[in-house]
Structure 1
Amino acid sequence: AGTEGLSFRLRVNVCRGLGDNPEATSYICGVGQKNSPINGDNTKPQSLETTMRQWGLENETENLKKTLKEGSETLLRRIIEHENRLDDEEKGNVGAQTDVIGIDYILSKRNGVYAPIGIEVNSHDCTINCQLYEFMNPDLAGLSVGPLIQTMCERSQRYAMSGKVVVVVGAGGSSKKFIWPAAKKENIRVVLVDCLPNHEIPDVARYLEYDFTDHTQDETHAKNIVQMLLKHGAELDGCCTFWEDCVPLAARICDMLDLDGIGLKGAMIAKKKSSTQNTLCDRTADIPHFPRTYLYAERCHHIENECDLENAEKSVEFPAIMKLEYGSSAVGVKLVHDMGEAKEHLSSLQEKLTCEEDHPGIGLGYGNSMLMMKYLEGTEHDIDVVLYNRKLVAAFVSDNGPTKKGFFTETAACMPSCLPKDKVGQIVTAAYQCCVEIGLVSGAFNVEMKMTPAGPKLIEINARMGGFYLRDWIKEIYGVDLLRCVFMTACGIKPLINKPKPRYQMMGVMCVPSVHAPIFKNSQTYDLIKNLHTMGHIRYNAIEDEIEDVDFETEEPMCNIAVHAGNVAQAKEKLLNFCTLFHLSTEEYDVNRFLGNFKENMI
């Protein structure tokens, strides 16, 4: 009714988003006489939804919009792929490329179904009517070009970092190998300090050999490394590390060279877990606009012998958690129910784990002392925060499934968080407060917390970028690269991150040797999983480059396999189907149970 003699023209705006991914942003219509040309100059912009209702086609809107989105984004993707094959002269100039297009459509009924027919594509005036529409609807301001602005900021940050010289202390394990090609791609010149076999030295701008294994001598190591750097005459822009054991050492080097960094005080407190908790417990003062910090922490006790255990028993109730004071994994973590179990665990651990060589990479370079603290009930979460000069730049929350019984190793993960919006705000605030209250200044930090019935409680702070799959997931979901954030803050440049919206829901499961070794030792299955990753059907993040390098004698996760979907329910169904197909779920390792908490507005 009311549309006789009228027709409409539909404009879809598509921008080059982060990672060169096309994103359809606006769907704007103009209504006019069907016997005359209809364009942006002789119509007033209105939404696709309103227009479809006007024509009595509201039931067709969802399918039409899906078709428009897929077709329009595919068109820009083809343009990008074509331009990538051209040289600078063929493109028109250095850096010339198509970043935004507008596609005009009309609707045609075919076999009883309305289908869009493209009639024009251009890139010179494609945002005019979209911006007119946003002017009339201020709450939508920036919608049509949002991804393009993000891409422009991304390019600017890449340019700002190009040619920077950054000292990286410690190469880390195989799971950190992505750092070197990623830095090289951004033209960041890495000076790596470590003591590696020749065949393990990565492709970096400069490699300085130095053995810092004994971290009890970090002050001496820092002085020696600074002398080496000055001797080589390197003009340094920053210094950082991605390896847990090297955090205090890198902070000392920053301090001695007067470089921007995470902050020596914060690095030292974060590395010693009991100091982290006890420092926060002492922060009882009122802070305007924030809860009191002590509410996030629990009093801890440093344990070196049985006498320390007996003292701890006076203030820590059983069951309690015991773990390595300087640990960087779940190795050594145990729930103890009485003093007998506590003494037995202390004795066993101090007998088996005496030095770094006993279990490389878990923090034994600082000794094998332990801590005891209250066991916290609730769901476990990771909060990866980016700080610059003590200000919160960004935070990304993920949910963890229940830990594997008896080992406290991670079983499953989900991002974005399924927590209610107010609980996400609560846990982000808690993570930020805990970081700045112990003295962390600038960088990307991984904070582990439990959401208890009374709110968030701190497990520990890792004063470096989150490891394993976290950087990869955050980059895939939000288009934010934590690796670049670390390099930027180390060089005194604030990362520009504009509250990115998640592109999809991701959910993954850990694979462990005791259950999954036979599956991954089957070369056909292993190759199929890697191929599915290459094709984009799954995300496969491994601790080791090759399956032959996995230590099948430990119960540490060997890899994470994840899927992405439109929402939590779809991601869970997709992951469970994959786990069934590849026999990843067993009676002993019940993936369905691990994913049980992952649902919208989980409490």
Structure 2
Amino acid sequence: MDHCSLLEEVKKSQFWHDLQQGLGFYNLPETVERTQNRRTKSTIEEITMVVLGEPLTCLNLCLEGGKQCPGGMLLVPSLTWLQKEPTNEGDMQTLRVHTAVTFDSCGRTFLDIFTPPRRVTYFTNLATDDEKRKVCMRSYNVDFEKDLECPLGVTQDSIKSLDDRILTRILVADADVAFPDTLAFLYRSRMPYNHERSNIYVVAIENKEDGKEKINKELAAFISSLLGKGMKKVVVKVGVRASGKVTYHSAQDQAGVYSAVCQGLDERESIIVEAFCETLKPSPVPHLDYEEQAVGIKSKDLSCTIRAVVCCTPNGNQLVSDIVCGVGHADRTLHCDNTLPVSLESFLVQWGLQDRSQIENIRSMITKKAEDILHVWTKYEVCMNKEKSGGFLAETSIIGVNFVLTEQEDKRYDAVVVSVNNSKKTIANTQTYEFQNPTKLGSCVRPLVATMVNRSQRFLLQGKQILLIGGGEGVNKKFVWEAAENYFVKIILIDPDPNHSAAKCVYKFIQCDIEDVSHDDEIAKRVVQIIRTQGLVVDGCMTVVDEYVPLTALVCKELCLLGNTPEAATKCKNKIFTQKALMENATSSSFLPNPHLYAVKIHEIDRPEDVKGSSNHIQYPAILKPVYGSSSFGVYLVKDEKECLKSFDAVQKILKAEDEKALVICNGNEMHLAEYALGTRHGVDIVMFRGKILAAFISDCGPSRFPLFIETSSCMPSCLPLDKQRQLVTATQQCVRAVGLTDGVYNIEFKMTPTGPKLTEINGRMSGYHYRNWILAVFDTDILFLNFLIACGIRPSVRPLEPRCQLIGVMCTTTAHAKALSRPGIATAEILVEAHEEGEIIFFPIEPNLEEKEPFEKPLFHVAVKGKSVNEAKKKLLAVCRKYGIENQQYPVERFLSPFVELSWP
């Protein structure tokens, strides 16, 4: 069929009618036709997430996909819009799409024809099983998805598994979540069940006639146990699959229950018999009681079902994206087709519960139970597929968990799971709710789309070879090669240490003397020559070591890889150049402040004579700091010229010592004075691609322990008001543009003064220590993964989720803690590691040696706690620090936590 004929057929289809109707409901423009010729190399590595389905069940998913990844979410109604090609890897097939409806960030849709067809990076099957609608122009081939190389979302197998009532009931039990007492009769089942669970009884029936006596006996025992617990009703569900019939019976009517079970066996179905869960009775409402009495109508008994939509997040966590309720009469089974969706809060208020803390507790309880169930299900899928190879097996990323809210004898509330919805049905149900609440469009499936995007990006990154310049000291950068293995990335590490701990952990290790940064141009050429001589294919180049930022830029330039210019790398490496770039920047924009507003006054000190008269150029007290370096090594607060000269001489003496690389910078011994900016300290971690900031993560830092400036405490998310946070992001954008950074993940440090942000320094690589782990825990975003993508020239599609928790931590240092933490029985590293494994703290090791007499103070390790709020986390951390001796006279933790104040308004 040619394209013109295909388009005409599409426009006459029910699919097209439903799509335009749905877009009209949201006041979005009609679909536009266009042809895309995509033959340029720059468009090869692009996200292509294909949804097979119809608009009535997944339009909200596709619109949200357009927001998060414009042009990357594609809707197709038929397999005729797709084609498969063999790959070079065994029997795997590459899936390509030649026609699709695409979505952009503004809700516009396009009927696109791709020349050549686009390679699919994620495929999910939401095709309807309703043959009456005939939306899909060709029946779905169940074997179609079995040999695809791309990641898979919803599949026929996952739908069948989630529809299995007995399997989901067993997994609910594994999650330690309440469920009704269950008796299952399996008629000639081929599915083995691990059913050694309390309250779940599974009886195998091989022969219908011989099994009736067994059925009667098991039913009698089961119903007797229910009556002993005071339960009055029984539910019979015919068919293991969720689509089966449901009937209700009195527990006294054993004959009726028996008849319903036998009738199911006559239909060659398996049957579940379970206790009926009574819904929490609504509290009396005075005005409704008066209306009933005045009109003379007694309202029917009501029931309610509660559905929690729970999604997998990009990094494998679980997140409830919404909780929706349906109220109906108690004499029928409630589901989305016979109830109108309302929020949990609306339902609880209607039920007479108006205490806010009580409502929040119920929401938290349901959220915890639903997330635990998906967590158990995810582990089950991993075990089920463990014999398969590769990293892109089908993964269930969204389910619906249906609860009944009950009241216990002690007046506490509990949520009992009565069923689990498969992914296809859950997505369709979210759309029903969002159609009635347009302001919530996409919110229920937002984590799901983020996961789809993330798995697509992992697929694009798989097998890429990244040249890593420098492996850092010891094992403090081992998270890089550990992550590379997880993302199926091949690391080619170049490092001067032939015995580096990563030599056997990476794909390829090359020993090369790259330490003499004064000859970076020559070293870059030597590195490139080694790469070409060994015939290595390099897809990207990056570094996580501060010393090698300029060298990395030079290598990227030589290999024509995406990266920053050597000029930009030099400007951010040299702190004097950084401040001068801001002060000398002539860029003027009516939209943004001039970058010079973020600069601090500086005074260069190359030799002792430069200190004399410095007070005429810069106000004391000031900060004496090396021009190069990181982690505040060698940084001092000096009150006058005399103290400045003394500190300068002391630092120079250490730097010139032949047997000491105290700062591990190798760039030079130059120093400078910087104006002291009064205010709170903050770090901003940003993700940049092609000069645009795609994401920014703000952390707060505690006060300095003068006269030193090593980090004392930190907090994430930031406690700053939102407008102050945006002020920091704007300042970051202006500063990185001023020095010329364009592509990568960077850390920028500021002081937030009474007059606004002042730049401390720009680190031309991703932040070190614990911050990568923190961003992963709080925002479910891995900045190292994004760095891999950018290095390989793949545009990251990143939309951080709302903060999942509050983290607050303290840094333990050589001068303040080496002696105290080395005494047995108080808080050795081993004791803290054990506390970390038990979940009491979050422990991040940095320096293995507890040497108190270091030339400069160094961080030993970082200790943090997680809380629901700033106040809760502060309280927990203070207790931990007192318990393990981290707080002492030299280290007043309570003062270091004082800037972290919870806002009392939204």
TM-score (norm 2): 0.64
Q: Secondary structure at the match of 2:384?
A: coil
Residue of structure 2 equivalent to 1:259:
561
Residue of structure 1 equivalent to 2:417:
118
Distance (Å, rounded) in 1 between the aligned partners of 2:648 and 2:831: 43
Q: Secondary structure at the match of 1:43?
A: coil
Match of 1:438 among 716, 723, 739: 739
Distance (Å, rounded) in 2 between the aligned partners of 1:148 and 1:77: 15
Deviates more, 1:309-318 or 1:150-159: 309-318
Distance (Å, rounded) in 1 between the aligned partners of 2:821 and 2:795: 42
Code of the aligned partner of 1:507: I
Match of 1:48 among 344, 350, 360: 344
Code of the aligned partner of 1:121: V
Q: CA deviation at 1:4?
A: 4.4
Is the contact between residue 331 and residue 362 of structure 1 (CA under 8 Å) also seen in structure 2?
Answer: no
Is the contact between residue 170 and residue 193 of structure 1 (CA under 8 Å) also seen in structure 2?
Answer: yes
* Structure 1 position 321 matched with structure 2 position 623: yes
* Structure 1 position 132 matched with structure 2 position 435: no
Q: Secondary structure at the match of 1:247?
A: helix
Q: Aligned in 2, Cα 1:329/1:25: closer, same or farther, shift over 3 Å?
A: closer
Code of the aligned partner of 2:768: G
Q: How does 1:572-587 map to 2 (within 5 A)?
A: 572-587=874-889
Code of the aligned partner of 1:472: N
Distance (Å, rounded) in 2 between the aligned partners of 1:146 and 1:234: 40
Is the contact between residue 463 and residue 489 of structure 2 (CA under 8 Å) also seen in structure 1?
Answer: yes
Q: CA deviation at 1:507?
A: 0.2
Q: How does 1:526-565 map to 2 (within 5 A)?
A: 526-544=829-847, 547=848, 549-554=849-854, 555-565=857-867
* Structure 1 position 29 matched with structure 2 position 320: no
Match of 2:686 among 363, 366, 385: 385
Is the contact between residue 614 and residue 641 of structure 2 (CA under 8 Å) also seen in structure 1?
Answer: no
Is the contact between residue 550 and residue 558 of structure 1 (CA under 8 Å) also seen in structure 2?
Answer: yes
Q: CA deviation at 1:506?
A: 0.2
Q: Aligned in 2, Cα 1:153/1:582: closer, same or farther, shift over 3 Å?
A: same
Code of the aligned partner of 1:481: D
Q: CA deviation at 1:284?
A: 4.3
Q: CA deviation at 1:241?
A: 0.6
- Higher Cα Rg: structure 1 or 2? 2
Code of the aligned partner of 2:862: N
Is the contact between residue 594 and residue 734 of structure 2 (CA under 8 Å) also seen in structure 1?
Answer: no
Q: Aligned in 2, Cα 1:125/1:278: closer, same or farther, shift over 3 Å?
A: same
Distance (Å, rounded) in 2 between the aligned partners of 1:288 and 1:594: 39
Match of 2:654 among 333, 346, 352: 352
CA-to-partner distance for each residue in 1:7-63, whole Å, 9 max, x for gaps?
A: 222111111123221211221111222222221111111111111111212334222
Code of the aligned partner of 1:55: W
Match of 1:148 among 436, 439, 448: 448
Gaps spanning 5+ residues in structure 1: where?
A: none
Is the contact between residue 355 and residue 367 of structure 1 (CA under 8 Å) also seen in structure 2?
Answer: no
Q: CA deviation at 1:90?
A: 9.4
Q: Aligned in 2, Cα 1:329/1:484: closer, same or farther, shift over 3 Å?
A: same
Q: CA deviation at 1:518?
A: 3.7
Match of 1:184 among 485, 491, 507: 485
CA-to-partner distance for each residue in 1:62-114, whole Å, 9 max, x for gaps?
A: 222122111111111111122222236799x9713322211222222221333
Residue of structure 1 equivalent to 2:535:
233
Distance (Å, rounded) in 2 between the aligned partners of 1:29 and 1:601: 32
Q: How does 1:427-506 map to 2 (within 5 A)?
A: 427-506=728-807
Code of the aligned partner of 1:116: A
Residue of structure 2 equivalent to 1:568:
870
Distance (Å, rounded) in 2 between the aligned partners of 1:366 and 1:348: 18
Distance (Å, rounded) in 1 between the aligned partners of 2:500 and 2:652: 33
* Structure 1 position 269 matched with structure 2 position 571: yes
* Structure 1 position 373 matched with structure 2 position 674: yes
Distance (Å, rounded) in 2 between the aligned partners of 1:356 and 1:273: 25
* Structure 1 position 594 matched with structure 2 position 896: yes
Deviates more, 1:51-60 or 1:463-472: 51-60
* Structure 1 position 159 matched with structure 2 position 455: no
Q: Secondary structure at the match of 1:254?
A: helix
Distance (Å, rounded) in 1 between the aligned partners of 2:659 and 2:690: 37
Distance (Å, rounded) in 1 between the aligned partners of 2:563 and 2:858: 31
Match of 1:98 among 372, 396, 403: 396
Code of the aligned partner of 1:232: Q
Distance (Å, rounded) in 1 between the aligned partners of 2:352 and 2:583: 62
Code of the aligned partner of 1:315: H
Is the contact between residue 575 and residue 761 of structure 2 (CA under 8 Å) also seen in structure 1?
Answer: yes
Distance (Å, rounded) in 2 between the aligned partners of 1:208 and 1:417: 41
Deviates more, 1:305-314 or 1:263-272: 305-314
Match of 1:244 among 546, 553, 560: 546
Residue of structure 1 equivalent to 2:372:
74
Q: Aligned in 2, Cα 1:588/1:552: closer, same or farther, shift over 3 Å?
A: closer
**Identity across the alignment (%):** 36
Q: Aligned in 2, Cα 1:443/1:355: closer, same or farther, shift over 3 Å?
A: farther
Is the contact between residue 329 and residue 362 of structure 1 (CA under 8 Å) also seen in structure 2?
Answer: no
Code of the aligned partner of 1:177: K
Code of the aligned partner of 2:315: G
Q: CA deviation at 1:356?
A: 8.0
Deviates more, 1:184-193 or 1:390-399: 184-193
Q: Aligned in 2, Cα 1:114/1:335: closer, same or farther, shift over 3 Å?
A: closer
* Structure 1 position 8 matched with structure 2 position 304: yes
CA-to-partner distance for each residue in 1:222-259, whole Å, 9 max, x for gaps?
A: 11111111111111111111100000011111111111
Q: Secondary structure at the match of 1:500?
A: coil
TM-score (norm 1): 0.95
Q: Secondary structure at the match of 2:859?
A: coil
Deviates more, 1:326-335 or 1:576-585: 326-335
The structure with higher relative contact order (CA 8 Å, sep 6+) is 1
CA-to-partner distance for each residue in 1:123-180, whole Å, 9 max, x for gaps?
A: 1412333221112112211222221111111111111111111111111123212111
Q: Secondary structure at the match of 2:399?
A: strand
Code of the aligned partner of 1:350: Q
Is the contact between residue 278 and residue 299 of structure 1 (CA under 8 Å) also seen in structure 2?
Answer: no
Is the contact between residue 447 and residue 801 of structure 2 (CA under 8 Å) also seen in structure 1?
Answer: no
Deviates more, 1:489-498 or 1:513-522: 513-522
Is the contact between residue 164 and residue 189 of structure 1 (CA under 8 Å) also seen in structure 2?
Answer: yes
CA-to-partner distance for each residue in 1:412-458, whole Å, 9 max, x for gaps?
A: 00011111110000011101210111010100111110000000000
Code of the aligned partner of 1:262: N
Deviates more, 1:155-164 or 1:19-28: 19-28
Is the contact between residue 385 and residue 432 of structure 1 (CA under 8 Å) also seen in structure 2?
Answer: no
Is the contact between residue 307 and residue 325 of structure 2 (CA under 8 Å) also seen in structure 1?
Answer: yes
Q: CA deviation at 1:543?
A: 1.1
RMSD of Structure 2 on Structure 1 (CA): 2.0
Distance (Å, rounded) in 2 between the aligned partners of 1:528 and 1:355: 36
Q: Secondary structure at the match of 2:425?
A: coil
Deviates more, 1:344-353 or 1:445-454: 344-353
